[in-house]
Amino acid sequence: MFFLYEETKYECQTVNGFPSPSRPSQRDLARQVDSDLEEKQSPANDAIVSVVPRPEVPLVGVRIDPIIPVKPYWKKLALWSSSPKSIRSLVRHSYQPFFILWHIPAVLYMSILNGAMTAAAIMPITVCSIYMTMAPYNLMAQEIGLLSLPEFIGALAAAVICGPLNDWVILRMARSNGGIYEPEMRLWLILTFAPFVAAGLLMFGIGLERGLPWPFIAVGLGVASFGSTPATSLSLAYLTDAYTEIISDALVAVTFVKNLFPTALVFALTPWITAVELANVFIRATVIFIIILFGDIISIAFGKRFRTCSAGNYRLYAGHPLEKA
């Protein structure tokens, strides 16, 4: 893998004389849906629709122009490659994520949500490495490492269930919304899985302090991971759908905030446990995480209004994304 991974950067070249395709707005899509519904409900068009067949669109195979030169293999393995973008654009995108974080509320909340769920996953493992080496568990280093398996199983189960279930929910809600999809429809599933985060963390924290058997602790790890995985994935999917033109800078902001949580947790966890004991730490942390998770209700109720209010800032930052800078 090291030094043998090919360059995957794609640069979209603009061809003079060919306008770039525009993306239809929500208003245009709504008008199209309304016109389609009127045509279906009109009795005069029933006979026309039943008689006139729809034209079949021929399938055209994709052809690769052999004139386009192919990079030699040694160039694909280059340690670095030049970019046609200017240094000014690179500098702009080093600080623009922080402006996006401040001016667009959804990016700020999803960043905090991702950070909280990352902390919810890291916090139990950090405690395991300290307390489960003591009595009554006396686990070795290899056995402590195996405690990551319940979190892996929980995350895997959530990933398998969350994807199809989220698609099913979105389709049902879009049908009831006149065929119009809105990004906030993705956020409902986060609330569904939120109780698993609370249950898993409380099982782990209280069970560990009371010295309950290690399978109970392991189940708590898996349940917490099962509940936190959908929140991290769906929040990123929401940002991708709602703020497509600035998603690269938005993800930089999310990554920055997300890494702040475990960094602060490493330094604050031991003094916190010393001050209020282990079970109380997990009870209070669970309350904090649940408050952050249920902030999702505000995003569901007012997310569209927030997007409307921040449309000016969105257009400003979308005017010079990294690909166009």
Name which residue leads in pLDDT, 131 or 292: 292
How far, in Å, CA of 277 to CA of 275, rounded? 6
Residue 24 has pLDDT above 60, yes or no: no
Each residue of 101-158: pLDDT tens digit?
999 999 999 999 999 999 999 999 889 988 898 888 888 988 898 999 999 999 999 9
For residue 53, tell me if it sits in a domain: no
For residue 16, tell me if it sits in a domain: no
Q: What is the mean pLDDT of residues 273-289?
A: 95
Each residue of 303-317: pLDDT tens digit?
999 999 988 889 888
Q: Report residue 55 as tokens.
A: 């034209």
For residue 71, tell me if it sits in a domain: no
CATH classification of the domain holding 220: 1.20.1250
Q: Report residue 177 as tokens.
A: 């919304």
How far, in Å, CA of 107 to CA of 102, rounded? 8
Q: What is the mean pLDDT of residues 7-25?
A: 56
Q: What is the pLDDT of residue 50?
A: 46
How far, in Å, CA of 252 to CA of 246, rounded? 10
Contact 30, 180 (CB under 8 A): yes
Q: What is the pLDDT of residue 51?
A: 46
For residue 180, tell me if it sits in a domain: yes
How far, in Å, CA of 129 to CA of 133, rounded? 7
Q: What is the pLDDT of residue 67?
A: 77
- Taking residue 24's Cβ as centre, other Cβ atoms within 10 Å add up to 10
**If pLDDT is split at 50, 70 and 90, which confidence band does 325 have?**
very low
For residue 312, tell me if it sits in a domain: yes
For residue 136, tell me if it sits in a domain: yes
Q: What is the pLDDT of residue 47?
A: 45
Name which residue leads in pLDDT, 93 or 18: 93
> Domain range for residue 230?
98-318
How far, in Å, CA of 14 to CA of 1, rounded? 33
Query: pTM for the complete prediction?
Result: 0.76
Q: What is the pLDDT of residue 53?
A: 52
- Taking residue 163's Cβ as centre, other Cβ atoms within 10 Å add up to 14
Domain count, the chain: 1
Indicate the DSSP class of residue 245. Answer: G
For residue 155, tell me if it sits in a domain: yes
For residue 290, tell me if it sits in a domain: yes
